[in-house]
A and B are shown apart, each in its own frame.
Chain A
């Protein structure tokens, strides 16, 4: 027995040890969780060179399809691939159902909060959240007060970031993204590339499909048309080809069969939005906009914006065009407001939150501020209005000077900062090309939720982002993160044969 084992070629999982972290694949070294057992068998039998070959094919597929982002340095744009790791992140069916219920509850509560805060403001009158906290939010838009969003929907598309806490094994909500969350194109493309370049791994797994996302999205967008159901014109508004998410804009427009427009393709006349076609102007009913609020309309927001459309807000206010997502959603995904979302769920829905928050200290509260300043080296500090991993301090890995800098910044404008304990994120084995074997890397999960006014549709899985730097907890692509295909298994998890 021991002789036979010794004769086996080295296995890519040899020496894999998740250490103190919750590993999504292994419950103990050498012992895969039941839903990963099949995949483990398959990968363990594979030579390093075979695996490299699949990896190379996958990279090539991304390059040829132009799924790249552009880095501008020394004046020339260089295109880089978003690193893609071939080991999928697998979620068993029951666990996913729990997540889905929690997301659905959260999205509905966030939408109710936005209706309320730009409408009757009951929650402020009932003092369940400080009025000053809401009004001081940089993304609160006075211009939205009293505007009735079509069908009462603000959060058509949300990306809710989840992490699994290694201490409890539970999923927590890390942050909400209800402005213009991006990344869903990678979910769809990752799956496509995975099935094309590594089809063997799917065998005997019942992986829930995800390619209905564009269909669901377009049906929600069409439903918003102010002119009723007769063939509404839907467009996707992009800042243009230099935007880092341009690939996604183009991808979604193509998948939905709608025009991808830039601000210069649109014009507003007498409160109606038109696009400029070769046969003249054509009325636009619904805009899925991937431009931030402040650039949408130079007449109402930043006057120097060349990306937007003058008069667009007027057309929106007059009810002649629908925007998705609604304007002003940033007040709901502000990192300080985040701390109150469990309260929204209780207040609006009378329910207990299914997915808990990460404990959060608001530096605007004097007691929290004092605690944060004392315990800074143990905490993660985030600027409330930032996203993408910018403006962030990782206390345990920061040097003295950075800590001192943040201490000053926090003391100078406490409202702009929150702090959280460092969550030991769960890990998934990922290919380490330098060592030519698998090593545990930290992951998060961003599921994409669509809301049609009645129910929330969550595409099974979402984007698993992975911090490819050893030991790193920061998964953002702008900070060197990659992604993985994410599988949600069907009711039977693993099927015998197909």
Chain B
């Protein structure tokens, strides 16, 4: 497989995953905030920009973070490279450069998604609220995964799709939990009563609310939410699960046996996974929750860089 093709598959997967995560947090936050006071609203929109955008860039465009400006910026703004529309456009552009290597159905699916997204009129959607748009993005990106699973041979190319979404989800979940937690700790006392709601929203935004209810049978407590989203072995949106996926993909490509590693990406993945497997959530809180999540995100970025160095970019000497 050409390095350039592996590179594109990996990024198609990352961009679509990013679009989906952004759609999820927008949708959930919007409806949570509807029940809150004006003052709380202002407080509740800024974290989304911290999670899915670039705060400096955002404030160059919009003076204030509110439901409309954040929706506009995260969903439609072309100049924001992480907006949903931009992610889908880039995923589709990557697919276009390798369309002969993906299935016809994958291509038609992502291409029609691109055209659908670009037919939306931002002003109308902003007026209507984000649900219609975000829901479409959520299901469309799920569907693409299904189309890929069902039509692409599960060879190295498919493994790069798997690694891309594993890594993107792991990093994004870590960031969502990190930002929301920090936000709660720093929030003025009078807003503390919303804590419970905010953690509910975190669960809903990563699609883990029902799983939480079934697992813990208790009221929503920050430690338990963190445990589910970071350390759970089987929940498809937990950091641990997605690092497991990343490791499985990397090993399938290099043929490495468990217990060893073939390259730096595999070593870092293995180290992170061990930490996620054998830490208790209480230990993580004792050592510093924010720091742990910060390090986890850094490791995810380092894994991404090492994958690129190992498989995508060539030292030119043959």
Contact = CB atoms under 8 A, between A and B. Distances in A.
B97 interface: yes
A167 B217 CA distance: 88
B217 to A, nearest CB: 46
A426 B87 CA distance: 48
Secondary structure type dominating chain A contacts:
mixed
Interface in A57-86: 63-66
B107 A66 contact: yes
A267 interface: yes
B314 interface: yes
A265 B3 contact: yes
A482 to B, nearest CB: 21
Contacts of B257: none
Interface residues of A, number: 26
B2 A261 contact: yes
A98 interface: no
A265 B2 contact: yes
Contacts of A63: 115
A241 B1 contact: no
B311 interface: yes
B259 to A, nearest CB: 22
B212 to A, nearest CB: 39
Given A278-B253, A281-B318, A64 B111 contact: yes
Nearest to B3: A276
Given A64-B111, A261-B2, A265-B3, A254 B99 contact: yes
B50 interface: no
Contact of B101 (A251, A254, A269): A254
Nearest to B99: A250
B17 to A, nearest CB: 21
A281 B316 CA distance: 10
A278 B1 contact: yes
A272 B137 CA distance: 47
Contacts of B156: 278
A251 B100 contact: yes
Interface string B95-111: 01111110010011001
A426 to B, nearest CB: 35
B100 A275 contact: no
Nearest to B108: A64
A253 to B, nearest CB: 4
A66 B96 contact: yes
Interface string B1-45: 111111000000000000000000000000000000000000000
A281 to B, nearest CB: 5
Given A254-B100, A276-B314, A281-B318, A262 B111 contact: no
Contacts of A275: 2
A63 B108 CA distance: 9
Interface in B268-311: 311
B318 A250 contact: no
B4 A262 contact: yes
Given A251-B100, A253-B100, A66 B311 contact: no
A278 B6 contact: yes
A265 B107 contact: no
A211 interface: no
Contacts of B108: 64-66
Nearest to B314: A276
Interface string B41-60: 00000000000000000000
Between B1, B108, B318, the greatest number of chain A beta carbons within 10 A of the residue's beta carbon is seen for: B318
A290 to B, nearest CB: 13
Contact of B93 (A241, A250, A254, A279): A241
A260 B96 CA distance: 12
Nearest to B96: A241
A259 interface: yes
B2 A259 contact: yes
Interface in A137-151: none
Given A66-B96, A274-B318, A278-B6, 13 more contacts: A64-B108, A66-B107, A240-B97, A254-B100, A259-B2, A261-B2, A265-B2, A265-B3, A267-B316, A269-B318, A276-B3, A278-B1, A278-B253
28 contacts: A64-B108, A65-B108, A65-B111, A66-B96, A66-B99, A66-B107, A66-B108, A66-B111, A241-B93, A241-B96, A250-B99, A254-B101, A259-B2, A259-B5, A260-B98, A260-B100, A262-B4, A265-B2, A269-B318, A274-B318, A275-B2, A276-B3, A276-B4, A276-B314, A277-B1, A277-B2, A278-B1, A278-B156
Interface of B: 1-6, 93, 96-101, 104, 107-108, 111-112, 115, 156, 253, 311, 314, 316, 318
